[in-house]
Structure 1
Amino acid sequence: MLAVAVVVLVAVLWWLCSSWRDAVCSRAVGLLPGVRAPLLLIAHPDDECMFFAPTIFGVLQGQRPLSVLCCSTGNYYNQGETRKKELIQSCAALGIAPSNVTLIDHSELPDSPSVKWDERLLSSLILNHIREKNIDLVITFDEGGVSGHSNHISLYHAIRSLHDSGKLPKGCSVLVLESVSIFRKYISILDLLLSWLYGQDVLFISSGRQYKQAKEAMWHHQSQLLWFRHIYLFFSRYMMINTLHFLHDEKAEKKS
Protein backbone atom coordinates (compact mmCIF):
# COMPACT_ATOMS: atom_id res chain seq x y z
CA MET A 1 0.00 0.00 0.00
CA LEU A 2 2.83 2.38 0.83
CA ALA A 3 4.44 1.81 -2.56
CA VAL A 4 1.13 2.50 -4.31
CA ALA A 5 0.66 5.69 -2.28
CA VAL A 6 4.14 6.89 -3.23
CA VAL A 7 3.52 6.18 -6.92
CA VAL A 8 0.21 8.07 -6.79
CA LEU A 9 1.84 10.99 -4.98
CA VAL A 10 4.66 11.19 -7.53
CA ALA A 11 2.11 11.10 -10.38
CA VAL A 12 0.11 13.91 -8.79
CA LEU A 13 3.24 15.98 -8.27
CA TRP A 14 4.32 15.43 -11.86
CA TRP A 15 0.89 16.68 -12.95
CA LEU A 16 1.15 19.69 -10.65
CA CYS A 17 4.65 20.34 -11.90
CA SER A 18 3.44 20.35 -15.50
CA SER A 19 0.51 22.59 -14.60
CA TRP A 20 2.49 25.05 -12.53
CA ARG A 21 5.82 25.16 -14.31
CA ASP A 22 5.07 27.71 -17.01
CA ALA A 23 3.25 29.99 -14.60
CA VAL A 24 5.97 29.65 -11.96
CA CYS A 25 8.81 30.26 -14.39
CA SER A 26 7.00 33.22 -15.92
CA ARG A 27 6.51 34.66 -12.45
CA ALA A 28 10.15 33.99 -11.55
CA VAL A 29 11.44 35.63 -14.71
CA GLY A 30 9.10 38.53 -13.97
CA LEU A 31 10.87 39.01 -10.65
CA LEU A 32 14.02 39.92 -12.56
CA PRO A 33 12.84 43.14 -14.23
CA GLY A 34 15.40 45.01 -16.24
CA VAL A 35 18.06 42.30 -15.88
CA ARG A 36 20.12 42.31 -19.07
CA ALA A 37 23.36 40.51 -18.21
CA PRO A 38 23.03 37.76 -15.57
CA LEU A 39 26.05 35.79 -14.36
CA LEU A 40 26.15 32.28 -12.93
CA LEU A 41 29.06 32.09 -10.48
CA ILE A 42 30.24 28.53 -9.77
CA ALA A 43 33.25 26.85 -8.20
CA HIS A 44 33.81 23.75 -10.36
CA PRO A 45 32.94 22.33 -13.75
CA ASP A 46 29.67 20.34 -13.26
CA ASP A 47 28.22 22.75 -10.66
CA GLU A 48 26.20 24.30 -13.47
CA CYS A 49 24.20 21.18 -14.28
CA MET A 50 24.26 19.42 -10.90
CA PHE A 51 22.89 22.38 -8.94
CA PHE A 52 21.72 25.23 -11.18
CA ALA A 53 20.06 23.66 -14.23
CA PRO A 54 16.48 24.77 -13.36
CA THR A 55 17.76 28.32 -12.81
CA ILE A 56 19.66 28.29 -16.09
CA PHE A 57 16.57 27.21 -18.02
CA GLY A 58 14.42 29.79 -16.24
CA VAL A 59 16.81 32.66 -16.89
CA LEU A 60 17.30 31.67 -20.52
CA GLN A 61 13.51 31.62 -20.91
CA GLY A 62 13.68 35.38 -20.50
CA GLN A 63 15.94 35.59 -23.58
CA ARG A 64 18.87 36.83 -21.51
CA PRO A 65 22.48 36.03 -22.55
CA LEU A 66 23.53 34.15 -19.40
CA SER A 67 27.27 34.10 -18.65
CA VAL A 68 29.13 31.57 -16.52
CA LEU A 69 32.22 32.25 -14.40
CA CYS A 70 33.82 29.07 -13.04
CA CYS A 71 36.46 29.82 -10.40
CA SER A 72 38.56 26.65 -10.68
CA THR A 73 39.39 23.96 -13.22
CA GLY A 74 38.27 21.15 -10.88
CA ASN A 75 41.79 19.75 -10.74
CA TYR A 76 41.43 17.80 -7.47
CA TYR A 77 42.27 14.52 -9.24
CA ASN A 78 44.58 16.15 -11.82
CA GLN A 79 41.80 16.24 -14.42
CA GLY A 80 41.73 19.99 -14.90
CA GLU A 81 42.38 20.05 -18.64
CA THR A 82 39.70 17.45 -19.26
CA ARG A 83 37.20 19.23 -17.05
CA LYS A 84 37.70 22.53 -18.85
CA LYS A 85 36.48 20.93 -22.07
CA GLU A 86 33.66 19.16 -20.25
CA LEU A 87 32.39 22.46 -18.86
CA ILE A 88 32.19 24.03 -22.31
CA GLN A 89 30.33 21.00 -23.68
CA SER A 90 27.93 20.86 -20.73
CA CYS A 91 27.11 24.57 -20.97
CA ALA A 92 26.46 24.21 -24.69
CA ALA A 93 24.03 21.38 -23.93
CA LEU A 94 22.22 23.68 -21.50
CA GLY A 95 21.98 26.46 -24.09
CA ILE A 96 24.94 28.63 -23.06
CA ALA A 97 27.34 29.67 -25.80
CA PRO A 98 31.06 28.83 -25.31
CA SER A 99 31.88 32.52 -25.70
CA ASN A 100 29.86 33.20 -22.53
CA VAL A 101 31.84 30.74 -20.39
CA THR A 102 34.92 31.91 -18.48
CA LEU A 103 37.11 29.63 -16.37
CA ILE A 104 39.69 30.81 -13.83
CA ASP A 105 42.83 28.72 -13.40
CA HIS A 106 44.65 30.18 -10.38
CA SER A 107 47.10 28.31 -8.15
CA GLU A 108 45.61 29.94 -5.03
CA LEU A 109 42.10 28.73 -5.89
CA PRO A 110 42.54 24.95 -5.77
CA ASP A 111 39.67 22.51 -6.12
CA SER A 112 39.55 21.08 -2.60
CA PRO A 113 36.70 20.45 -0.13
CA SER A 114 39.04 21.36 2.72
CA VAL A 115 40.43 24.66 1.34
CA LYS A 116 38.78 28.00 2.02
CA TRP A 117 39.66 30.29 -0.86
CA ASP A 118 41.27 33.66 -0.14
CA GLU A 119 38.35 36.07 0.06
CA ARG A 120 40.28 39.16 -1.07
CA LEU A 121 41.72 37.45 -4.15
CA LEU A 122 38.44 35.82 -5.07
CA SER A 123 36.45 39.03 -4.59
CA SER A 124 38.89 40.92 -6.81
CA LEU A 125 38.66 38.37 -9.63
CA ILE A 126 34.87 38.25 -9.45
CA LEU A 127 34.49 42.03 -9.35
CA ASN A 128 36.78 42.49 -12.36
CA HIS A 129 34.66 40.02 -14.31
CA ILE A 130 31.42 41.69 -13.26
CA ARG A 131 32.71 45.07 -14.42
CA GLU A 132 34.13 43.70 -17.67
CA LYS A 133 30.86 42.01 -18.62
CA ASN A 134 28.56 44.74 -17.22
CA ILE A 135 26.83 42.13 -15.06
CA ASP A 136 23.65 43.26 -13.31
CA LEU A 137 22.66 39.99 -11.57
CA VAL A 138 24.93 37.41 -9.93
CA ILE A 139 23.58 33.93 -9.16
CA THR A 140 25.61 31.69 -6.85
CA PHE A 141 25.57 29.46 -3.75
CA ASP A 142 24.29 30.49 -0.31
CA GLU A 143 26.25 30.13 2.93
CA GLY A 144 25.59 26.37 3.00
CA GLY A 145 27.00 25.79 -0.46
CA VAL A 146 24.30 23.11 -1.12
CA SER A 147 26.79 20.33 -0.38
CA GLY A 148 28.84 22.11 2.30
CA HIS A 149 31.85 22.24 -0.04
CA SER A 150 34.36 24.86 1.16
CA ASN A 151 34.87 26.22 -2.35
CA HIS A 152 31.12 26.76 -2.83
CA ILE A 153 30.90 28.56 0.51
CA SER A 154 33.91 30.72 -0.41
CA LEU A 155 31.96 32.07 -3.38
CA TYR A 156 29.13 33.10 -1.09
CA HIS A 157 31.43 34.92 1.31
CA ALA A 158 33.22 36.70 -1.54
CA ILE A 159 30.00 37.95 -3.15
CA ARG A 160 28.56 38.77 0.28
CA SER A 161 31.64 40.90 1.01
CA LEU A 162 31.32 42.74 -2.31
CA HIS A 163 27.60 43.25 -1.76
CA ASP A 164 27.78 44.49 1.82
CA SER A 165 30.76 46.77 1.18
CA GLY A 166 28.93 48.45 -1.70
CA LYS A 167 31.58 47.47 -4.23
CA LEU A 168 29.18 45.88 -6.70
CA PRO A 169 28.16 48.16 -9.58
CA LYS A 170 25.00 50.15 -8.99
CA GLY A 171 21.95 48.06 -9.82
CA CYS A 172 23.77 44.72 -9.60
CA SER A 173 21.79 42.32 -7.40
CA VAL A 174 22.62 38.86 -6.07
CA LEU A 175 20.54 35.68 -5.97
CA VAL A 176 21.74 32.74 -3.84
CA LEU A 177 20.66 29.13 -4.23
CA GLU A 178 18.98 27.77 -1.10
CA SER A 179 20.68 24.86 0.68
CA VAL A 180 18.10 22.43 2.04
CA SER A 181 18.27 19.53 4.48
CA ILE A 182 19.70 16.19 3.39
CA PHE A 183 16.19 14.74 3.48
CA ARG A 184 14.76 17.36 1.14
CA LYS A 185 17.82 17.25 -1.07
CA TYR A 186 17.20 13.65 -2.12
CA ILE A 187 13.44 13.40 -2.56
CA SER A 188 13.44 14.81 -6.10
CA ILE A 189 10.03 16.03 -7.28
CA LEU A 190 8.51 15.13 -3.91
CA ASP A 191 10.07 18.34 -2.59
CA LEU A 192 7.87 20.43 -4.86
CA LEU A 193 5.20 21.21 -2.28
CA LEU A 194 7.75 22.09 0.40
CA SER A 195 9.61 24.31 -2.05
CA TRP A 196 6.34 26.02 -2.94
CA LEU A 197 5.17 26.48 0.65
CA TYR A 198 8.43 27.63 2.24
CA GLY A 199 9.44 31.22 1.69
CA GLN A 200 11.59 31.98 -1.34
CA ASP A 201 12.12 34.94 -3.61
CA VAL A 202 12.44 32.94 -6.81
CA LEU A 203 11.35 29.39 -7.64
CA PHE A 204 12.34 27.59 -10.84
CA ILE A 205 10.88 24.21 -11.82
CA SER A 206 12.19 22.21 -14.77
CA SER A 207 9.93 20.38 -17.17
CA GLY A 208 10.49 16.72 -17.93
CA ARG A 209 12.26 17.72 -21.13
CA GLN A 210 14.52 20.12 -19.29
CA TYR A 211 15.32 17.51 -16.65
CA LYS A 212 16.42 15.19 -19.45
CA GLN A 213 18.47 18.02 -20.95
CA ALA A 214 20.19 18.62 -17.60
CA LYS A 215 21.09 14.92 -17.36
CA GLU A 216 22.44 15.03 -20.91
CA ALA A 217 24.59 18.02 -19.91
CA MET A 218 25.98 15.99 -17.01
CA TRP A 219 26.90 13.17 -19.43
CA HIS A 220 29.50 15.55 -20.85
CA HIS A 221 31.24 15.43 -17.46
CA GLN A 222 32.38 11.87 -18.07
CA SER A 223 35.34 12.25 -15.73
CA GLN A 224 32.90 12.83 -12.85
CA LEU A 225 30.29 10.18 -13.55
CA LEU A 226 31.06 7.88 -10.64
CA TRP A 227 28.36 5.52 -9.41
CA PHE A 228 27.05 7.82 -6.67
CA ARG A 229 26.53 10.67 -9.12
CA HIS A 230 24.15 8.49 -11.12
CA ILE A 231 22.12 8.19 -7.92
CA TYR A 232 22.33 11.96 -7.46
CA LEU A 233 20.99 12.61 -10.97
CA PHE A 234 17.96 10.45 -10.24
CA PHE A 235 17.10 11.56 -6.71
CA SER A 236 18.35 15.13 -6.22
CA ARG A 237 15.71 17.85 -6.15
CA TYR A 238 18.33 20.27 -7.54
CA MET A 239 18.01 18.56 -10.90
CA MET A 240 14.40 19.78 -11.09
CA ILE A 241 13.82 22.45 -8.44
CA ASN A 242 15.76 25.58 -7.48
CA THR A 243 14.68 27.98 -4.75
CA LEU A 244 16.66 31.19 -4.50
CA HIS A 245 16.81 34.28 -2.28
CA PHE A 246 17.94 37.80 -3.02
CA LEU A 247 20.92 38.91 -0.96
CA HIS A 248 20.06 41.81 1.34
CA ASP A 249 22.17 43.89 3.65
CA GLU A 250 23.52 41.61 6.38
CA LYS A 251 23.17 44.21 9.15
CA ALA A 252 19.57 44.86 8.23
CA GLU A 253 18.87 41.12 8.19
CA LYS A 254 20.31 40.71 11.70
CA LYS A 255 18.21 43.60 13.04
CA SER A 256 15.05 42.11 11.59
Structure 2
Amino acid sequence: MKKNRTVAFIYAHPDDETFGCSYLIREIADGGDLPVLFTATRGDAGKTGRLGEMTREELAAKRDIELDKAIEILGITTLEQAGMGDGKLKEADPAALRELIADFLRRHEADVVVTFPEDGISGHADHIVIHHAVNEVVFGGQAPSVQKLYYNQLSSYEANSSSIIKIAENGNWDVKRRALAAHESQILSIERVFGKLGPDVPPGQQVEAFELGWERGVHFPIKAERTIFDDLN
Protein backbone atom coordinates (compact mmCIF):
# COMPACT_ATOMS: atom_id res chain seq x y z
CA MET A 1 0.00 0.00 0.00
CA LYS A 2 1.40 3.38 -0.90
CA LYS A 3 2.00 6.00 1.73
CA ASN A 4 0.26 9.37 1.78
CA ARG A 5 -2.96 8.13 0.22
CA THR A 6 -5.05 10.87 -1.37
CA VAL A 7 -8.75 11.44 -0.74
CA ALA A 8 -10.45 13.88 -3.11
CA PHE A 9 -13.52 15.77 -1.91
CA ILE A 10 -15.53 16.98 -4.90
CA TYR A 11 -18.22 19.56 -4.16
CA ALA A 12 -20.22 22.42 -5.60
CA HIS A 13 -19.70 25.25 -3.11
CA PRO A 14 -17.37 26.52 -0.42
CA ASP A 15 -18.59 25.06 2.92
CA ASP A 16 -19.96 21.80 1.45
CA GLU A 17 -16.82 20.06 2.69
CA THR A 18 -17.19 21.48 6.19
CA PHE A 19 -20.88 20.66 6.61
CA GLY A 20 -20.52 16.98 5.81
CA CYS A 21 -16.90 15.89 6.08
CA SER A 22 -15.04 17.76 8.81
CA TYR A 23 -14.46 14.75 11.08
CA LEU A 24 -13.36 12.62 8.15
CA ILE A 25 -11.04 15.26 6.69
CA ARG A 26 -9.35 15.94 10.02
CA GLU A 27 -8.95 12.20 10.63
CA ILE A 28 -7.31 11.78 7.21
CA ALA A 29 -4.94 14.69 7.79
CA ASP A 30 -4.05 13.56 11.31
CA GLY A 31 -3.24 10.10 9.93
CA GLY A 32 -0.67 11.54 7.53
CA ASP A 33 -2.73 11.14 4.38
CA LEU A 34 -3.77 13.85 1.93
CA PRO A 35 -7.26 15.38 1.75
CA VAL A 36 -7.67 17.53 -1.38
CA LEU A 37 -10.68 19.65 -2.34
CA PHE A 38 -12.29 20.66 -5.63
CA THR A 39 -15.22 23.09 -5.66
CA ALA A 40 -17.05 23.85 -8.89
CA THR A 41 -18.14 27.36 -7.87
CA ARG A 42 -17.04 30.19 -5.57
CA GLY A 43 -20.46 30.43 -3.93
CA ASP A 44 -21.14 33.92 -5.21
CA ALA A 45 -24.90 33.42 -5.53
CA GLY A 46 -25.29 32.56 -1.85
CA LYS A 47 -26.62 34.63 1.01
CA THR A 48 -24.45 36.94 3.11
CA GLY A 49 -25.69 36.07 6.58
CA ARG A 50 -25.33 39.01 8.94
CA LEU A 51 -22.73 40.77 6.79
CA GLY A 52 -25.18 42.93 4.84
CA GLU A 53 -25.53 43.43 1.11
CA MET A 54 -22.68 42.49 -1.20
CA THR A 55 -22.20 42.30 -4.93
CA ARG A 56 -21.52 38.85 -6.35
CA GLU A 57 -17.88 39.83 -6.81
CA GLU A 58 -17.61 40.95 -3.19
CA LEU A 59 -19.26 37.78 -1.92
CA ALA A 60 -17.00 35.57 -4.04
CA ALA A 61 -13.92 37.31 -2.64
CA LYS A 62 -15.26 36.97 0.91
CA ARG A 63 -16.03 33.29 0.46
CA ASP A 64 -12.55 32.68 -0.95
CA ILE A 65 -11.10 34.03 2.29
CA GLU A 66 -13.55 32.00 4.37
CA LEU A 67 -12.69 28.79 2.55
CA ASP A 68 -8.97 29.38 2.94
CA LYS A 69 -9.48 29.67 6.70
CA ALA A 70 -11.69 26.59 6.87
CA ILE A 71 -9.36 24.31 4.93
CA GLU A 72 -6.43 25.35 7.11
CA ILE A 73 -8.42 24.33 10.18
CA LEU A 74 -9.50 21.04 8.59
CA GLY A 75 -6.05 20.13 7.25
CA ILE A 76 -6.86 20.13 3.54
CA THR A 77 -3.59 20.22 1.60
CA THR A 78 -4.84 21.37 -1.82
CA LEU A 79 -7.77 23.49 -3.00
CA GLU A 80 -8.89 24.11 -6.57
CA GLN A 81 -11.97 26.09 -7.58
CA ALA A 82 -13.39 25.96 -11.08
CA GLY A 83 -15.26 29.27 -10.81
CA MET A 84 -18.34 27.97 -12.64
CA GLY A 85 -21.74 29.60 -12.27
CA ASP A 86 -23.08 29.25 -8.73
CA GLY A 87 -26.64 27.99 -8.88
CA LYS A 88 -26.23 27.37 -12.59
CA LEU A 89 -24.34 24.09 -12.84
CA LYS A 90 -27.29 22.58 -14.72
CA GLU A 91 -26.52 25.11 -17.47
CA ALA A 92 -22.81 24.32 -17.58
CA ASP A 93 -21.27 22.18 -20.30
CA PRO A 94 -21.37 18.73 -18.68
CA ALA A 95 -18.38 17.49 -20.65
CA ALA A 96 -16.32 20.48 -19.50
CA LEU A 97 -17.29 19.88 -15.86
CA ARG A 98 -16.45 16.20 -16.12
CA GLU A 99 -13.05 16.98 -17.63
CA LEU A 100 -12.24 19.46 -14.85
CA ILE A 101 -13.07 16.83 -12.25
CA ALA A 102 -11.22 14.07 -14.08
CA ASP A 103 -8.15 16.24 -14.52
CA PHE A 104 -8.14 17.10 -10.80
CA LEU A 105 -8.39 13.43 -9.83
CA ARG A 106 -5.70 12.37 -12.27
CA ARG A 107 -3.22 15.08 -11.30
CA HIS A 108 -3.58 14.28 -7.62
CA GLU A 109 -3.69 10.50 -8.20
CA ALA A 110 -6.71 10.24 -5.92
CA ASP A 111 -7.25 6.84 -4.32
CA VAL A 112 -10.66 7.64 -2.84
CA VAL A 113 -13.35 10.16 -3.81
CA VAL A 114 -16.08 11.61 -1.57
CA THR A 115 -19.02 13.56 -2.96
CA PHE A 116 -22.78 14.09 -2.75
CA PRO A 117 -25.37 11.30 -2.91
CA GLU A 118 -27.97 11.19 -5.66
CA ASP A 119 -30.35 13.57 -3.84
CA GLY A 120 -27.56 16.03 -3.08
CA ILE A 121 -28.40 15.69 0.66
CA SER A 122 -30.45 18.90 0.51
CA GLY A 123 -31.90 18.52 -2.97
CA HIS A 124 -29.80 21.46 -4.24
CA ALA A 125 -29.57 21.26 -8.03
CA ASP A 126 -25.85 22.09 -8.06
CA HIS A 127 -25.17 19.23 -5.64
CA ILE A 128 -27.04 16.78 -7.84
CA VAL A 129 -25.11 17.88 -10.93
CA ILE A 130 -21.83 17.22 -9.09
CA HIS A 131 -23.02 13.77 -8.01
CA HIS A 132 -23.72 12.71 -11.58
CA ALA A 133 -20.55 14.29 -12.97
CA VAL A 134 -18.37 12.47 -10.45
CA ASN A 135 -20.15 9.20 -11.14
CA GLU A 136 -19.57 9.50 -14.87
CA VAL A 137 -15.88 10.28 -14.38
CA VAL A 138 -15.24 7.46 -11.94
CA PHE A 139 -17.46 4.81 -13.52
CA GLY A 140 -16.08 5.67 -16.94
CA GLY A 141 -12.49 5.10 -15.88
CA GLN A 142 -11.45 8.68 -16.57
CA ALA A 143 -9.51 8.75 -13.27
CA PRO A 144 -7.82 5.35 -13.16
CA SER A 145 -6.16 5.85 -9.77
CA VAL A 146 -9.56 5.98 -8.01
CA GLN A 147 -10.40 2.75 -6.22
CA LYS A 148 -13.37 3.77 -4.08
CA LEU A 149 -16.19 6.33 -4.21
CA TYR A 150 -18.20 7.38 -1.16
CA TYR A 151 -21.37 9.45 -0.84
CA ASN A 152 -22.28 11.66 2.13
CA GLN A 153 -25.27 10.47 4.07
CA LEU A 154 -27.03 11.83 7.13
CA SER A 155 -25.52 10.54 10.36
CA SER A 156 -28.69 8.55 11.10
CA TYR A 157 -28.54 6.79 7.72
CA GLU A 158 -28.82 2.98 7.72
CA ALA A 159 -29.06 0.63 4.76
CA ASN A 160 -29.31 -3.10 4.17
CA SER A 161 -28.35 -2.79 0.51
CA SER A 162 -25.02 -0.97 0.88
CA SER A 163 -22.14 -0.38 3.28
CA ILE A 164 -22.06 2.60 5.61
CA ILE A 165 -19.03 3.85 7.49
CA LYS A 166 -19.52 6.27 10.36
CA ILE A 167 -16.75 8.61 11.43
CA ALA A 168 -17.02 9.47 15.11
CA GLU A 169 -16.50 12.98 16.40
CA ASN A 170 -13.59 11.81 18.61
CA GLY A 171 -12.90 15.28 19.94
CA ASN A 172 -13.07 16.91 16.51
CA TRP A 173 -16.26 18.89 17.09
CA ASP A 174 -14.09 21.88 17.97
CA VAL A 175 -12.36 21.53 14.58
CA LYS A 176 -15.71 21.35 12.81
CA ARG A 177 -17.12 24.22 14.88
CA ARG A 178 -14.19 26.49 14.03
CA ALA A 179 -14.28 25.54 10.34
CA LEU A 180 -18.01 26.23 10.21
CA ALA A 181 -17.50 29.58 11.95
CA ALA A 182 -14.90 30.47 9.31
CA HIS A 183 -17.73 30.44 6.74
CA GLU A 184 -19.06 33.64 8.29
CA SER A 185 -21.25 34.65 5.37
CA GLN A 186 -23.16 31.37 5.66
CA ILE A 187 -23.80 31.53 9.40
CA LEU A 188 -27.60 31.56 9.08
CA SER A 189 -27.58 28.31 7.10
CA ILE A 190 -25.05 26.87 9.53
CA GLU A 191 -27.21 27.73 12.53
CA ARG A 192 -30.26 26.13 10.90
CA VAL A 193 -28.39 22.83 10.78
CA PHE A 194 -26.12 22.97 13.85
CA GLY A 195 -27.71 25.59 16.09
CA LYS A 196 -25.57 28.22 17.79
CA LEU A 197 -21.96 27.10 17.54
CA GLY A 198 -20.76 26.31 21.04
CA PRO A 199 -18.32 23.92 22.71
CA ASP A 200 -20.80 21.05 23.08
CA VAL A 201 -21.47 18.65 20.22
CA PRO A 202 -24.98 19.38 18.89
CA PRO A 203 -27.55 16.59 18.99
CA GLY A 204 -27.21 14.30 15.98
CA GLN A 205 -23.71 15.53 15.16
CA GLN A 206 -21.70 12.85 16.95
CA VAL A 207 -20.83 11.11 13.68
CA GLU A 208 -20.58 11.70 9.93
CA ALA A 209 -21.84 8.91 7.67
CA PHE A 210 -20.59 7.82 4.25
CA GLU A 211 -22.00 5.20 1.90
CA LEU A 212 -19.62 3.13 -0.21
CA GLY A 213 -21.08 3.65 -3.68
CA TRP A 214 -18.42 2.01 -5.82
CA GLU A 215 -15.24 0.00 -5.39
CA ARG A 216 -13.11 -1.06 -8.37
CA GLY A 217 -16.07 -1.58 -10.66
CA VAL A 218 -18.54 -2.94 -8.10
CA HIS A 219 -21.49 -0.73 -7.25
CA PHE A 220 -22.63 -0.58 -3.61
CA PRO A 221 -20.58 -3.53 -2.37
CA ILE A 222 -21.68 -5.00 0.95
CA LYS A 223 -18.80 -5.14 3.41
CA ALA A 224 -17.80 -4.13 6.91
CA GLU A 225 -15.18 -1.38 6.99
CA ARG A 226 -13.20 0.28 9.74
CA THR A 227 -11.83 3.10 7.57
CA ILE A 228 -12.24 4.41 4.04
CA PHE A 229 -8.76 3.03 3.31
CA ASP A 230 -9.71 -0.60 3.91
CA ASP A 231 -8.68 -2.93 1.06
CA LEU A 232 -6.92 -0.29 -1.05
CA ASN A 233 -4.22 -1.65 -3.33
Structure 2 residue corresponding to 1:229, chosen from 184, 190, 206 = 190
In 1, Cα distance between the equivalents of 2:203 and 2:162?
20
Contact 1:52 / 1:238 at 8 angstroms: preserved in 2? no
Structure 2 residue corresponding to 1:210, chosen from 163, 172, 175 = 172
Contact 1:204 / 1:242 at 8 angstroms: preserved in 2? yes
Aligned to 2:123: 148
Contact 1:141 / 1:156 at 8 angstroms: preserved in 2? yes
Pick the structure with more helix per residue: 1
Aligned to 1:123: 98
Letter in 2 for 1:203: K
Quote how far apart the aligned CAs of 1:80 are: 0.9
Contact 2:89 / 2:129 at 8 angstroms: preserved in 1? no
Deviations 1:134-163 (A, max 9, x none): 222211111111111111111110111112
Deviations 1:185-243 (A, max 9, x none): 7xxxxx4xx65999534221112x311220111111111112x5213123574673223
Aligned to 1:47: 16
- 5 Å matches for 1:140-179? 140-178=115-153
**Match status 1:241 vs 2:208:** yes
Letter in 1 for 2:187: L
**1:112 to 1:134, Cα distance in 2 relative to 1, 3 A:** same
Q: Percent identity?
A: 21
Letter in 1 for 2:213: F
- 5 Å matches for 1:31-70? 34=2, 36-70=5-39
Contact 1:44 / 1:72 at 8 angstroms: preserved in 2? yes
In 1, Cα distance between the equivalents of 2:203 and 2:91?
26
Aligned to 1:76: 45
In 1, Cα distance between the equivalents of 2:104 and 2:217?
24
Aligned to 1:94: 74
Q: Secondary structure at the match of 1:58?
A: helix
Structure of higher CA gyration radius: 1
Quote how far apart the aligned CAs of 1:56 are: 1.1
Q: Which runs of 4+ in 1 moved over 3 A?
A: 113-118, 194-199, 234-240, 248-253
Pick the structure with more strand per residue: 2
Quote how far apart the aligned CAs of 1:248 are: 5.2
Contact 1:50 / 1:233 at 8 angstroms: preserved in 2? no
TM-score by length of structure 2 reads 0.75
**1:223 to 1:124, Cα distance in 2 relative to 1, 3 A:** same
Q: Secondary structure at the match of 1:66?
A: strand
**Match status 1:103 vs 2:103:** no
Any unmatched runs of 5+ in structure 1? Answer: 1-32, 186-190
Any unmatched runs of 5+ in structure 2? Answer: 47-55, 196-201, 221-233
In 1, Cα distance between the equivalents of 2:125 and 2:191?
23
Contact 1:139 / 1:175 at 8 angstroms: preserved in 2? yes
Contact 2:162 / 2:213 at 8 angstroms: preserved in 1? no
In 1, Cα distance between the equivalents of 2:43 and 2:74?
19
In 1, Cα distance between the equivalents of 2:215 and 2:186?
35
